């Protein structure tokens, strides 16, 4: 039964049409959170909706309503508990990895699991990999565990996220992964010329850090540059890459462009892969 089915007898037809058909679940079989965007017209019915959601997913112990878009440097959103337990720390399971986190303190999206696996499939055992904007470490950990590269370093500015990242390294028993607290602008320097691959999963502003990424890469290193863009504006995004490379007197070759997830009307989270020669 869908959430709408469960609410059929409790809401009017008009209200039912407004019930979101998708929401995120973060956690495992025993304890999970649901994060849902309740339209303002349904605010008075939010408890009813949360009750139905908890009936549908028995592992959901807390239902949180999105009260703001992602914002600020940490890319977190305001989340209000509408039903359930106040403890919102969970262990999310994905691709055989476990991530402990609290979405009220850090960024995490369960929708990006396939993308993390795609990157892991591209990496290999000989590589040193830098993950800029590493959050609680999901990209770093999936790649470290699946591709078994020589070394993965993740740089993250949110202290809460770095604490979770360190705990996640322990939880997944990884010895090839290191979490570094700080701003990519300052912390990347230590890895200049040492990396075979750099991931840049901060689509809003990652273009501001292209020079750091290029500087980290060895000859023939690969960068995965994420951005939000309309399909017909990809050329402009590629231009920012070319400008950064030119400034550093490095040649680049574009590889693939991948639409990762829809973001808004005609806008996609897009990954532009390029090789630094």
Q: Residue numbers of the site for ligand SAM (CB under 6 A)? A: 73-75, 107-108, 112, 133-135, 138-139, 155-158, 161, 183-185, 201-202
Q: Is the Cβ of residue 27 or residue 135 nearer to ligand SAM in the bound state?
A: 135
Give the nearest distance from C-beta 118 to ligand SAM in angstroms: 13
Q: Minimum Å distance from CB 109 to ligand SAM?
A: 6
Our CB check for ligand SAM shows the closer of 73 and 248 to be: 73
65 neighbors 82 (Cβ within 8 angstroms)? yes
Query: E strands along the chain, which residues?
Result: 24-27, 32-36, 60-66, 79-84, 90-94, 97-101, 128-132, 151-156, 177-181, 195-200, 217-230, 252-264, 267-276
Nearer to ligand SAM, 182 or 193 (CB): 182
Tokens at residue 159, please? 């202290």
To the nearest whole angstrom, how small is the minimum distance from the Cβ of residue 184 to ligand SAM?
4
**Residue 19 CB, nearest approach to ligand SAM (Å):** 27
N residues, the chain: 277
Residue nearest ligand SAM, Cβ-based: 135
Instruction: Name the E strands within 49-168.
Output: 60-66, 79-84, 90-94, 97-101, 128-132, 151-156
Measured distance CA(52)–CA(167) in Å, rounded: 33
Strands 267-276 and 217-230: antiparallel
Q: Which one, 36 or 260, has the nearer CB to ligand SAM?
A: 260
Q: How far is the CB of 155 from ligand SAM (least distance, A)?
A: 5
Pairwise CA distance, residues 152 & 144, whole Å: 6
CB of 206 to ligand SAM, least distance (A): 9
What is the spatial distance between Cα 138 and Cα 51, in angstroms, rounded to a whole number? 30
For ligand SAM, the closer CB: 75 or 215: 75
Q: Where are the beta strands (DSSP E) in 15-168?
A: 24-27, 32-36, 60-66, 79-84, 90-94, 97-101, 128-132, 151-156
Q: How many Cβ atoms are within 10 Å of 15's Cβ, its own excluded?
A: 17
Cβ pair 143, 217 in contact under 8 A: no
Q: How far is the CB of 207 from ligand SAM (least distance, A)?
A: 12
Closer CB to ligand SAM, residue 54 or residue 181? Answer: 181
Closer by beta carbon to ligand SAM, 157 or else 198: 157
């Amino acid at each position: 039964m869908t959430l709408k089915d469960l609410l059929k007898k409790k809401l009017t037809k008009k209200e039912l049409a407004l019930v979101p058909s998708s929401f995120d679940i973060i956690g495992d079989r025993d304890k999970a959170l649901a994060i849902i965007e309740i339209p303002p017209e349904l605010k008075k019915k939010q408890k009813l909706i949360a009750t139905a959601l908890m009936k549908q997913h028995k592992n959901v112990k807390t239902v949180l309503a999105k009260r703001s878009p992602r914002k600020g440097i940490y890319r977190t959103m305001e989340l209000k508990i509408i039903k359930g337990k106040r403890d919102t720390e969970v262990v999310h399971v994905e691709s055989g990895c476990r991530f402990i986190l609290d979405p009220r303190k850090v960024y995490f999206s369960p929708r990006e699991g396939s993308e993390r696996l795609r990157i892991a499939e591209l990496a290999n055992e000989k590589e040193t990999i830098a993950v800029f904007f590493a959050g609680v470490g999901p990209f770093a950990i999936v790649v470290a565990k699946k591709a078994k590269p020589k070394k993965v370093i993740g740089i993250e500015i949110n202290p809460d996220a770095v604490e979770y990242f360190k705990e996640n390294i322990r939880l997944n028993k990884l010895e090839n992964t290191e979490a570094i607290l700080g701003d990519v602008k300052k912390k990347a320097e230590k890895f200049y010329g040492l990396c075979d691959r750099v991931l840049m999963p901060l689509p809003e502003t990652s273009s501001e850090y292209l020079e750091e990424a290029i500087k980290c890469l060895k000859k023939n290193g690969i960068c995965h540059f994420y951005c939000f863009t309309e399909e017909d504006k990809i050329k402009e995004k590629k231009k920012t890459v070319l400008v950064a490379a030119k400034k550093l007197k490095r040649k680049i070759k574009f590889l693939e462009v991948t639409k990762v997830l829809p973001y808004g009307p005609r806008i996609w989270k897009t990954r532009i892969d390029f090789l630094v020669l």
